[in-house]
Copies of this chain bind each other. A is one copy, B any other.
Amino acid sequence: MDSGGTTRPGGRAARVREAVRQATIAELGEKGFDGLTVEGVAARAGVHKTTVYRRWGGVEGLAADALDLAGGEPWPVPDTGSIQGDLRALTRLVVAGFADPELGPVSTAFIAAAMRNAPTARALRAFFAGRHEQSAVLVTRAVERGELPAGTDPAEVVRIAVAPLYYRLFVSGEPVDGAIADRAADAALAAARAGILRASRAPDDPA
């Protein structure tokens, strides 16, 4: 009896899911969300398209589940020894990710898909919540080192640091590079140092 036949159903289901998620990511990278089809993913993953329809429903469910996979992958949170170095490494990681010929189109496709359907939007929200949480340690360490005021909101520092890059890439349509990444990081750092990004800050505190 071959190994496929002796595998427990759970094991096989997990392998199918993994193959379909990987195929979805590959298809999104090559064709974007507009070019994503159940047939294309099924063919690439080597599974029947009826299996894909039954378990994922359609392209929206495929994109959402692939994002879930992406969110679970290990991610190199910078640890350079200073908050400026860490934030610059973080913003440069975002720039490098979108410039990457494989990763960039996939990330762009996820953001485009999230603008068009609720399941992917929910998955993208969870993805970024995870990223904010994972990178919060940068700020926690900086507060412990005395580089930032106590009470600084870690997720907010991360949001403010990376936001200008996403704004340029997906809203104003302007280029990004390492110098722009550094400036975005430094701007967030200046705001955090000035006490603007404290978690408990009331809206009417003096700036």
**Chain B residues with CB under 8 A of A111:** 115, 170-171
A182 at the interface (CB under 8 A from B): yes
With A and B bound together, what is the CA distance between A116 and B109 in angstroms?
A: 10
A160 at the interface (CB under 8 A from B): yes
* Nearest CB on B from A63, distance (A): 14
Number of copies: 2
Query: Is B194 touching A207 in the complex (CB atoms < 8 A)?
Result: no
- Specify the chain B residue showing the minimal Cβ separation from A110: B171
With A and B bound together, what is the CA distance between A187 and B158 in angstroms?
A: 13
**Chain B residues with CB under 8 A of A190:** 190-191, 193-194, 196, 207
Q: List 21 A-B contacts (CB under 8 A).
A: A34-B116, A108-B115, A111-B170, A111-B171, A112-B116, A124-B172, A128-B174, A129-B172, A132-B172, A163-B164, A163-B166, A166-B170, A166-B171, A167-B167, A170-B170, A183-B201, A183-B203, A186-B191, A186-B207, A190-B190, A190-B193
